[in-house]
Structure formats: structure tokens, C-alpha cells
Amino acid sequence: MKLLLCIAIDLAGMGTYAVPGAGELGDIAWAPVAAVLVRMLCGNGAKLAFTEELLPFTDIIPSATISYFRSRS
């Protein structure tokens, strides 16, 4: 279940580009939300998720999913 939620977080982050011109502005709003959700689900990776959402053109990186697998090892 946690994996599916992490995938959903990543898809939501990528979804900000669905609205033309709103991609990076949407990322600024989504970055803290994604960081909190990743922290709650994985216990780590919040900094990765926050940074990935803020940096331009990095939405292709599935940071929440990566954090999930890192928390399992």
C-alpha cells in the first residue's frame, strides 16, 4: 500500500506539467506537501522529494518511490 501511495505522490508531482505554464509554479506549492507525505510514509527521503520538486525539469525522477525502496533496505 505504501508503494502505491509513493507512486501516486510521484505522479501528482509530474502532473503539475499537465497545465501549460503552471508546471514550475505548481512544483513550488507541491514540494512541501510531497516532502511531508514522503516523511510520513518512508521516514526518510523528505529532503530528496523537496529538492526534486523545486529543481526545474527534475519531475521525471520518482523521488517518493526511490525513498520507499531506500526505507526498505
Concatenated DSSP letters for 34-51? Answer: HHHHHHHHHSS-HHHHHH
CB 43 within 8 A of CB 18: no
User: Which residue, 73, 9, 61, 66, is CA-closest to 36?
Assistant: 9
Please give the chain's pLDDT, 73 residues, in tens: 999 999 999 999 988 777 777 777 888 999 999 999 999 999 988 999 999 999 988 888 999 999 999 999 7
Name the residue ranges covered by the structural domains of the chain.
2-72
CB 5 within 8 A of CB 23: no
